[in-house]
Structure 1
Amino acid sequence: MRVVPPSEGVDVVAAERAATAFLAAFGVPTDTGPTADTPRRMARAYAEMLSPRSFDLTTFANDEGYDELVLARGIPVHSVCEHHMLPFVGTAHVGFLPGERILGLSKLARVVELFARRPQVQERLTKQVADWLQTHLQPRGVGVVIEAEHMCMTLRGVRAGGTSTVTSSLLGCLRDDPRSRAEFLALTTSAGSYGAGGRHG
């Protein structure tokens, strides 16, 4: 199955013109000197941050009947806060309890990117990854934990540098079965500072 993200028709030329006007409004000259090419760089940088890549969803029959947790820890997360258009960066831990099929491990990172490369809030991103995997893989359970630092919180406003926000979404057995839930949370806790208390920070 080929996963092709919806295209909104990124217009880099129009974005460059808008970046020039944006910088001019803040008194940043772009006609000469080291910032002459900044609008183009800005436009291309945001085009990259807001454009997920297509990928093939590779799954395999679970012929061995594997029924234990599969977990990819420390998947890089790069997204843009939809409220301030500033980046938030961190890591995702994504796991599932296989059903009839298992997933190529690199595809877990691809699914995170699929939803991260767009204007986002972390809560929605976490739930979208979990829901998408539940729908397309139909496992017995899915768990997603994301821990990220938001530039809109560390560079402006309260300026609470070093603060991280943790969100989680658990579906199926990883939500309903206490033993499976505890195993998943214990493994994600050992990967970072996440605890069973859910969102904090």
Structure 2
Amino acid sequence: MSGDRAERDNVLRVALADDQALVRAGLRALLERQGIHVVFEADHGGAVLEQLSQHAVDVVLSDIRIPGIDGIAMLEQLRARGNATPVLLLTTFDDSELLLQASEAGAQGFLLKDAEPTELRDAIARVARGEALLQPVSTEPVRARYRYHAGDAPRALFSEREVAVLRLLAGGYSNKEIARAMFLAEGAVKNYVSVILEKLDTRDRTRAVLKAITLRVI
């Protein structure tokens, strides 16, 4: 619903959470220059939860390490309430374990703070549309910290084209973007994604990517 509202109004509305006032001010100025409306700011997770009960936004943009109720705990409480507002978590650390925790909690996006302004704007737009975004991370730490039992192996082998689609999924690309990159119809990409999810025994694109990394499919 939030993504539909964003497209209808053509103005993305975000909640901004960071415990540093200067960082919030910088992010607000950056976002507003790119036509994104900051509905409210918060310096801790509890304030985000309180404000979201009063104000609707398209995306929550939050530092992952805010004090009190941190970004991940805030996200978990938000989902427990049945609130599906997309959440994009920011961090200064390229930490695969944090990415996994954020994914488990239901985050749509995870981005490093040193991302370019255009990358941040694009990330917000993507998660507002319902897409998942994982900034590329080192694969070895993911494999080391997120292991699967033998029974979790893929149900079938992957074709070369399925592996190519998986790699683009890992880069956060949408079905439409994958279709353009691979010169395929969007419907064909949807079919490939469905087969990939079936082989990895998951219905979630993010978990499919993490599992594919762990099992050395990509």
* TM-score, length-scaled by structure 2: 0.28
- Structure 1 or 2: more strand by fraction: 1
Bigger radius of gyration among the two: 1
- Structure 1 or 2: more helix by fraction: 2
